[in-house]
Amino acid sequence: MTRTKLIGAAVIVVVLLAGASTVAVAAVTGGVSSTGTAPNGQCSAPALPGTVVNVDLVDMGGGTMMGGRTMMGGWTGGMMRVLASRAQVPAGTVSFRVVNTGSLVHELVVLPLPSGQRVGERAVGSDGRVDEAGSLGEASKTCGAGAGDGINPGAIGWVTLQLAPGDYELVCNLPGHYAAGMYAFLAVR
């Protein structure tokens, strides 16, 4: 192998290991503590009504990876995740307690999943976002409920919704984040 290929292979290994450790830390810590406090203690959520779904928004430290872009300028697929504590909840009042365990600003948007479509299959527009038509709500306010300018790294946000039976997709819809893997499935029965 040439020196360039060896360096390239080493960079790939480092990126893969960094991603695995980020996901492992989120899985071990569970993101939000049982008291609803963000990992860094920056803020906490109040007692939330209904069925509570804890959600971790995870990235590989996009700030150090050229803002989540490859050297060629394209978005890096699969380097970010939405990790929900539950894949199925009963219909009715559902609260999402969302912690940003990554290093970039994130949000959580709840979208109905069209019949026959799987998570991760939405069309991404030229702005790097998916269409939010039909959104049922979002958690995108740092240390607060509902919509805002995004949840800062290490902080928490929350939203409470009334969900009818059906399939839903939980997404981060900041530019490039959906294409990078920030989506999860939620069944409401």
Name, in order, each residue with C-beta under 8 angstroms of 19's C-beta and a sequence gap of 6 or more.
60, 79
Closest residue by Cα to residue 84 from 17, 39, 31: 31
What value does the mean pLDDT take over residues 106-120?
96
Q: Write out the two tokens for 85.
A: 């504590």
Q: Which residue has the higher pLDDT, 62 or 165?
A: 165
**Total domains in the fold of the chain:** 1
Domain of 175, CATH number, reads 2.60.40.420
- Point out the least confidently predicted range of 51-65, 94-108, 130-144, 171-185: 51-65
Q: Find the domain containing 178 and state its range.
A: 3-188
**pLDDT tier, 61 (very low <50, low <70, confident <90, very high otherwise):** low
Mean of the per-residue pLDDT values of the chain? 81
Q: Does 97 score more than 50 pLDDT? A: yes
Q: Does 92 score more than 50 pLDDT? A: yes
Residue 99 C-alpha from the chain's centroid: 9
> Helix, strand, or coil here: 21?
helix
Kindly report the pTM of this predicted structure. Answer: 0.75
CB–CB of 159/170 below 8 Å?
no
Alpha-carbon gap, residue 99 to 60, rounded angstroms: 15
